[in-house]
Amino acid sequence: MGKERTKKIMTRLGEREVSSDGIVYFPRGLIGLEDKREFALLSVREGESPFFLLQCVTDPGLGLLVADPYSFLDKYDVKLENLDRKTLKIKNIKQLAILVTVTIPQNRPEETTLNLQGPIVINTEARIGVQVPQTDSGYPTHFSPIRG
Amino acid sequence: MLILTRRPGESLYLGDTIKLKILSVQGKQIKIGLEVPEDMTVYREEVYLKIKEQNKQALETSQQDLLAAAALWEKKEPRK
């Protein structure tokens, strides 16, 4: 119907075009960034990459590197509290996408690690996101993925 | 900082919606029961701080390292 509107935003990777339905709202912000609510999920490069940039729509300098954990791990269970389920407005588990933040030591990209303790859960249909600390999971904050 | 002394079984209220109860004290561990409004998040401080730090690090990645990492892991998935 030609309803899909796009807008240009400035990102850490330069100017990008995002469609209006590509913006995810974080009602509680992210941990330590509680006042940032709107983020766009951008691919870092064309083609198949497990890495994405979670770019704040209102702050060009603020973009977190995140990854799809299931590209690296067969099993990764994220526990959601009732409050998180409610905030995310989950109707169906298939609506959910899970991302983890990524740390790259300066100039040592081969030492990239994933933080499995603070996953970001997104309801892809409602476009709502929440970061959910995994308190008792025993998952590490610096998981080293193995290069395939 | 307000300092209060409580015994196991005793509680205190923060405002009229948050109840904090000391359940038991065993050696150096104190078990606390919390009754908080449904829409309030409760985090263990060390977990909260760790994730905050990780978020900061995810923000500080240089563009160059970011693209390099993306290149390193690029083809993992399609290869199966």
| pTM of the predicted model as reported, rounded to 2 decimal places | 0.86
Our CA angle for B10, B14, B20, nearest 5°, is 35
ipTM of the complex model:
0.85
Give pLDDT < 50 ranges for chain B.
Answer: 76-80
Tokens 């015994």 correspond to what residue? B7
Q: What's the topology of domain A6-131?
A: BH3618-like (2.30.290)
| pLDDT tens for each residue of A108-126 | 988 999 999 999 999 999 9
Q: Which residue out of B54, B77, B80 would a mutagenesis test of the A interface target, given it has the greatest number of A Cβ atoms within 10 Å?
A: B54
Domain ranges in chain A?
6-131
Distance CA B49, CA A32 (A): 8
**Closest among A144, A65, A66, A148 to B78, alpha carbons compared:** A148
Q: Which residue out of A64, A142, A146 would a mutagenesis test of the B interface target, given it has the greatest number of B Cβ atoms within 10 Å?
A: A64
